[in-house]
Amino acid sequence: MLGALLIVFREVIEAGLIVGIVLAATRGVPGRALWVSAGVGAGVLGACVLAVFAGGLSSLFHGSGQELFNAAILVLAVGMLTWHNVWMAGHGREMSRELKAVGAEVVKGSRSLMAMAVVVGVAVLREGSEIVLFLYGIAAQGGATTLGMLAGGALGVGAGAALSALMYLGLLAIPAHRLFAATTGLITLLAAGLAAQAAAFLQQAGVIDVLTAPLWDSSRILSEGSTLGRLLKTIIGYTDRPDGLQLIAWLAVVAMMITLMRLVNPKRPAAALAAAVAPHAAE
């Protein structure tokens, strides 16, 4: 039971932390609850479909279907997170320049929300399909321990959701004028981490076969398999034995994000952003 709880808990927090960051980052944007819920709903539905077709997906592309699918949806999520950050940076400037255009901004805001709904959907889809397969496996095996393990799984979902909610509330405790700088930073690191994971999947698929040797091994200091390691893997892309390609992907996304945000808003992006959105956040 404890084993099942831990496995499900870890998968739930991986998706839940992303949902928490997205919710904090979209604070004050009208209609976000609907979009984020739609993202979660689509993710759960997709996870069930994915679990059913897991075998079929795997056998595609000479057995690399699963890896390519994972890499593709991770790259999609990186694109959406980048769009969000860049849009927010530009939005801040527009908002401070012409306050009258708030109505139009709300419409544009829903586009950014659409991007974030995709991010949430991808996160729930990836982790959710693993939970579904795992729990289905337990249920299919039967036996005396089945009920206990399923109960463990249910507790894992609850505990994971609770921790994710705590993370969200923790982010909200940050003063409004700092929150947007914080979430911009978090989303940048989140995107970089997802890009590094995508790089690993492309290597696993055999698409890219360079820079595969680990650069360092910090597994004795902080193992990637530990719960804290998993948390950091989700939030900042921590990996205890990163290879060259992963590091390059990580750095490239951070550099791309900063460059794009500077381009749309040459002044300090975070400050302009906070000034623009703070009145909304107080609602």
Chain residues binding other proteins by CB under 8 A are 3, 7, 51, 54-55, 58-59, 61-64, 66-68, 71-72, 75-76, 79, 83, 129-130, 133-134, 136-138, 140-141, 200, 202-207, 209-210, 212-214, 219, 223-225, 239-241, 243, 246
Q: How far is the CB of 158 from other proteins (least distance, A)?
A: 20
Q: How far is the CB of 100 from other proteins (least distance, A)?
A: 29
Would residue 222 be called left, alpha or beta, if left means φ above 0 and alpha means ψ between -120 and 50 degrees? beta
The CB-side HSE value for 146 (13 A sphere, CA atoms) comes to: 9
CA dist list (Å): 5 to 1, 76, 104, 109, 271: 6, 30, 46, 38, 42
Helix ranges restricted to H, the chain = 2-25, 32-52, 54-63, 65-97, 102-141, 146-172, 176-204, 227-236, 244-264, 269-281
* Residue placing its CB nearer to other proteins in the complex, 80 or 277: 80
> Hunting for tokens 């897991």 — which residue is that?
54
Burial of 146 (0-12, 13-18, 19+ CB in 10 A): middle
Q: How far is the CB of 61 from other proteins (least distance, A)?
A: 5
Contact criterion met (CB below 8 Å) for 80 and 117: no
- Sequence-separated (6 or more) residues with CB below 8 Å from residue 229: 222, 223, 238, 240
* Residue placing its CB nearer to other proteins in the complex, 15 or 270: 15
Q: How far is the CB of 157 from other proteins (least distance, A)?
A: 16
Q: How far is the CB of 48 from other proteins (least distance, A)?
A: 14
Q: How far is the CB of 60 from other proteins (least distance, A)?
A: 8
* Residue placing its CB nearer to other proteins in the complex, 141 or 259: 141
